[in-house]
Amino acid sequence: MSSDKLQLLPALPLCAKAFAPFGQVIECSGHASYAINAGSSQRFSDLAQLEADTDGRLALSIFRANAQRTPLTLSCLERHPRGSQAFMPLNGQAFVVVVAEQAPGSARQAAESLRVFVSNGCQGINFRSGVWHHPLLSLGAGDFLVADRLGPGPNCEEIDLSSWGLGIAL
C-alpha cells in the first residue's frame, strides 16, 4: 500500500521512562555497573524482569530478521498472557516497537492508543506478560536474541490490523 493511502503514526526514540508501562528497555545507558572477572568486564545487572507462568519455562532463541520494507505497515497486534518476551539486537540493527495498553477496536482508536518507539540498535526491550505489541519490525537485516516463555497451552492472542491502513512515520 503506498504511503499516501496510509495513516502514519509518529515514532519516538525508545526510552525507558516512556516504555515503562509496557516493560523494560535493555541497555547499559543509565544503569550502574560493577567490575567482575578481575576487572576485565563490567556487569550491568538485572536489566529486565523476565516472566513465565508455572506451567512454562523461559527459553532463549534467535530470530534472524529481514529488513522490513518501508513504509512500515501494521498487520496485527498480539499478546502473550503466560509470559514476557524480550528482544535484543545482536548486530546493531535498529527496530520499531509498537505497543498498546488496550486492544484497539478501530483504526481511529488504534491511531489514538498505539505507541511507537524506535530502538537505536543498542537497545533491546522486554514486553511484560500480556502487553499488546506488533510482531518484530526490524529496520535492518540481523539477528535478535529472544527470551520468552515456552510451554503448554496457548500463549499468543492476536488481532488483525491489516485492513486498517496504519503505517509508521519514520
Q: List residues binding Ni ion (CB under 5 A).
A: 85
Instruction: Please pick, from the candidates 1, 135, 158, 169, the single residue that binds ligand UGC as defined by CB under 6 A.
Output: 135
Contact criterion met (CB below 8 Å) for 137 and 82: no
**From the list 122, 136, 145, 170, which residue makes contact with ligand UGC (rule: CB under 6 A)?**
136
Nearest C-alpha neighbor of 53 from the set 157, 158, 151: 151
Q: How far apart are CA 58 and CA 51, in angstroms?
A: 7
Q: Residue 78 Cβ, how far from ligand UGC at the closest point, in Å?
A: 6
Contact assessment for residue 63 and residue 87, using Cβ atoms and an 8 Å cutoff = yes
The three cell numbers of residue 163 are: 485492513
Judged by beta carbon distances under 5 to 8 A according to partner kind, the member of ligand UGC, Ni ion, none in contact with residue 136 is: ligand UGC
Spatial distance between the Cα atoms of 59 and 115, rounded to a whole number of angstroms: 27
Q: Shortest gap between Cβ of 134 and ligand UGC (angstroms)?
A: 7
Of the pair 35, 62, the CB lying nearest ligand UGC is at 62
Residues that bind ligand UGC (CB under 6 A): 78, 85, 133, 135-136
